[in-house]
Amino acid sequence: MAIFKKAEKKLTLNDIVLPEHIGIIMDGNGRWAKKRGLPRTAGHTVGAQTFRKIARYCSDIGIKHLTVYAFSTENWKRPKEEVDAIMKLFKEYMIEAINDFQDDSIVVKFIGDRTVFPDDMLELIEKNEHDSKDRTGMVLNIAMNYGGRDEIVNAVKTLAKDVKDGKVDVNDIDDKLLSDLMYTSGQPDPDLIIRPSGEYRTSNFLLWQSAYSEYCIMDVLWPDFKTEDLDKALIEFAKRNRRFGGI
């Protein structure tokens, strides 16, 4: 006698609880271009288009916080032509966002060391943050000139100065105090970090905040990343048993 098993229901976003905060390492732009015989800058251009699409999709489906890794403190080591192209795209995005997000509810924040940017870029960064600060929708953190170790070092320096100045007692230092000095202060830690491109490393991204984050490594280069890929990652996340060190 044949035994028929009941088919397992295929989950959709309507069946799951979404993570509150997602981090995405936007990786694979250069390799995407190389595979097509194009300059690496072409990969960054297409990757920027993917970023716009995915950011809006996250907002539309109800993600509350999205942090994207756009440019690390180590990326300055890349060829000048490539760095200049990335900075040009960054500037174009900031100009576009001022107008393009006027009717959106997205709050735009930039995390990282801003001291290296020229005055015109700093003005655009500050205008984007100012114009969006009263919105009530998804918080979009764009990590530019960002490094997790650098972030922790800066937090420790601030804390050391506060101890020296008598503002903080050394015995009162705890993880919350340090968390409040991170760029993402006031936001929940990421529940899920997605890394397209198939690489298995954190690349200095949200080192403090990701202590209990779930990782999803996806074998697709960032310019090819689609909303369907994000859905797969969210559904995979929903199946995981998060114990936070417990049983």
Question: What is the SS3 assignment for 215-244?
Answer: EEEECCCHHHCCHHHHHHHHHHHHCCCCCC
Give catalytic status of residue 154 as yes or no.
Answer: no
Which class in CATH covers the domain with range 18-148+189-238?
alpha beta
- Over the stretch 221-239, which tens digit does the pLDDT of each residue have? 999 999 999 999 999 999 9
**Residue 2 scores a pLDDT above 70:** no
Q: pLDDT class for 1, splitting at 50, 70, 90?
A: very low
Kindly report, residue by residue over 91-127, the tens digit of the pLDDT: 888 888 877 666 678 999 999 999 999 899 999 999 9
Q: What is the pLDDT of residue 69?
A: 95
More confident position, 241 or 68: 68
Note the pLDDT of residue 58.
97
Domain ranges for the chain, please list them: 18-148+189-238
Clarify whether 29 is annotated catalytic: no
pTM: 0.91
Among candidate residues 29, 60, 75, 219, the one labeled active-site is: 75
3-state DSSP assignment of residue 145: strand
Of the listed 15, 27, 29, 204, which one is catalytic? 27
Give residue-wise pLDDT tens across range 27-46: 999 999 999 999 999 999 99
Calpha distance 148→190 (Å, rounded): 14
Confidence of residue 3 (pLDDT cuts 50, 70, 90): low
In this structure, what are the phi and psi dihedrals at residue 3, rounded to the nearest 5 degrees? -110, 120
Instruction: Pick 163 or 95 by higher pLDDT.
Output: 163
